[in-house]
Structure 1
Amino acid sequence: MSTAFRSCFVLIGFILAYITYLLLGALVFSAIERPVEETLKSDLNSLKAELLNLSCINATALETFLEKVLQANKYGVSVLENATVRTNWDLASSLFFANTMVTTVGYGHTTPLSDVGKAFSIVYALIGVPFTMLVLTACVQRLMHPLTYGPISMCQRRAGLQQRTASVVHFIVLLVLVVLGFFVVPALVFSTIEETWSFLDSFYFCFISLCTIGLGDFVPAEKPGQRLRALYKISVMVYLFVGLMIMFLVLRTFHKLADVHGWTAFFQLPSYEEEDEDKEPIIEQEPDDESPEAEKASIKPLDPSCQVSYNSING
């Protein structure tokens, strides 16, 4: 088995394992939280019926009802008639919740109701967040050559650009394509589907989501009577994962750009290939002043030409 085929096989295995992990988490969340949600809805409906049957609504009954409604609304449960036909813990919604948790987006519009659900969330995120970072890293490593190294090498060979110029042109083009493909176009789609969202609201949602800020003031597929709600939720979930992967790719490409222009060396930051750990010896030895080798070893690689750069992709 060739190295490339084995690498592809491992990557596919990672992605399938990640999807399986999300599905298992969604099933567990749905099994734990849905009965609690149904109980809460039943209590609200009973309170509502009791309130309506009263000949004269007193202040105590009204305050009790409002307190229950506000508490339920905090967990995404509404007493309104047009909102009681759906649940926040069906398979698609649970899958969406699991995805936003392990990607650290976390909108907060849906939260576990039970203590068991909260405890499971801790364990699930403890494993899922590093797992997500591992899958994203594996995917981005495979995308660096076709989307970063390859285009820069082509600019150098066909356009005759210098290495630094080619890296800047590539980064600008990549940034424009990412903004168009993962912010502008999705914002147009969201503003069309979500009737109450303007284009600015939709663009804001895309930015807040892909930066993993996740304020939760705008969440898709939450309006009553949403058509194809399950498919919509899963589509947004795929968009978030691919978008986070592309954002990671942009950050890595910028790091390589900084290496080429010597910015990492100027600020004494590690280059793209370097590990973050300290490579200096624990016990410093006195260099021999008469030895040329010792003099060379004492020189710090602050010159940008000493840093690892795009030279390795020149063909």
Structure 2
Amino acid sequence: MLPSCARLVARHGPAWRFGLLVLGYLLYLLFGAVVFSSVELPAEDLLRRELRELKRRFVAEHACLSEAQLEGFLARVLRASDAGVSALSNASDTWNWDFASALFFASTVLSTTGYGHAVPLSDGGKAFCIIYSVIGIPFTLLFLTAVVQRIIVYVTRRPVLYFHIRWGFSKQIVAIIHAVILGFVTVSCFFFIPAAVFSVLEEDWNFLESFYFCFISLSTIGLGDYVPGEGYNQKFRELYKLGITCYLLLGLIAMLVVLETFCELHELKKFRKMFYVKKDKEEDQVHIVEHDQLSFSSISDQAASMKDDQKVNEPFVSPQPTLNCDGSINN
């Protein structure tokens, strides 16, 4: 009875840590809501007042047009804009569903980024998007996992082991330094440099807005307030869209490699285990027995076969001659 109670206490010991984790997450969520509300609410109020004044002036200058007619026209234009279709005359030559744009849209769907700049308009397109996503998103996760698993062997594990074995440095220190350097290189190659490029190619974007787009995209948040290649006078638009698609896929892989590298740090593993439920040893033994490939019988059989193989592979050594009491030699 007492050992069972001790195991129960040991198993549910980290429960208070999990409670602190939940409380901390809720507080962080509330903190974000307070900051966003205090920062963005005045800007929204200013924009609303500007639009009201603009609409009032327009109705006053055009007496033949009622306010209801104007609002009906604007509502239709906004619905079309939400679907990615602009009513502006200089945007009539820009299509959202040519091959390059459709490829860019497919990549945002499979990576769950979802900018919302273009959406399926037909019922057939919406139905296909559901089926395509149900199959494609797990397929994308499998693809990314397989790619990251192979890359991290050459990018993280082998370099860390090389410096640890070759030069005798501490493995934990080498892993931390390597993770920091890898993170710095990734941020430089997939955030700072692309942000500088976007700030040049996109006329209305500054460096901060370009960096903001890179972060929102590679973190798969995808707010959709900034989408490259949507300018009306964009040169080589199809080639530009293809380049952005490649950038998003490569950047997502790089981000996953960096995250996996940091997750393998010993300190982070210990930190994560603080909030996990500890498994009972009896449950682990039952789990092992239930799996044939890890059962005790199979392990013993494998050990016995390994011993037999060692005996077979061992070179034959003739017995050393010994001297008997009578002086004769026993071979």
Q: Same fold (TM over 0.5)?
A: yes
Q: Is the 8 A contact 2:172 2:266 kept in 1?
A: no
Instruction: Provide TM-score, normalisation by structure 1.
Output: 0.65
- 1:105, CA displacement in angstroms? 0.3
| 1:207-261 superposed Cα distances (whole Å, 9 cap, x missing partner) | 1111100000100001111001111111111111111111111121112113787
1:177-188 aligned at under 5 Å gives the runs 177-188=185-196
- Within 5 A, what are the aligned runs for 1:1-315? 57-59=64-66, 61-258=69-266, 262-268=270-276, 279=284, 281=286
What is the Cα deviation at residue 263 of structure 1?
3.6
| % same residue | 47
1:259 touches 1:265 (CA, 8 Å); kept in 2?
A: no
Q: Is the 8 A contact 2:263 2:269 kept in 1?
A: no
Closer/same/farther in 2, CA of residues 144 and 259 from structure 1, 3 Å limit: farther
Gaps of 5+ in 2: 1-61, 288-331
Quote the residue 1:294 is aligned against: none
Larger Rg: 2
Structure 1 residue 67: deviation in Å?
Answer: 2.6
**Helix, strand or coil: the match of 1:109?**
coil
1:65 deviation in Å?
2.6
Change (3 A) 1:221 1:143: same
Letter in 1 for 2:225: D
Given residue 147 of structure 2, which amino acid in structure 1 is its aligned partner?
Answer: C
Aligned to 2:325: none
Going from structure 1 to structure 2, the CA distance change for 1:123 and 1:261 (only over 3 Å counts) comes to closer
Give deviations 1:113-144, integer Å, cap 9, x for gaps. 12221111111111110111111111101101
Counterpart residue identity of residue 155, structure 1: F
* Structure 1 residue 79: Cα displacement: 1.6
Amino acid at match of 1:124: Y
Distance (whole Å) between structure 2 residues aligned to residue 183 and residue 71 of structure 1: 33
For the aligned residues, what is the CA RMSD? 2.5
**Matched residue, 1:50:** none
Q: What count of residue pairs does the alignment treat as equivalent?
A: 223
In 1, the alpha carbon distance for the partners of 2:277 and 2:212 equals: 32
Question: Larger relative contact order (C-alpha < 8 A, sep ≥ 6)?
Answer: 2
Q: Unaligned stretches of 5+ in structure 1?
A: 1-54, 271-277, 283-315
In 1, distance between residues paired with 2:63 and 2:272?
A: 73
Distance 1:261 1:87 in 2: 48
d(CA) in 2 for partners of 1:210, 1:267: 28
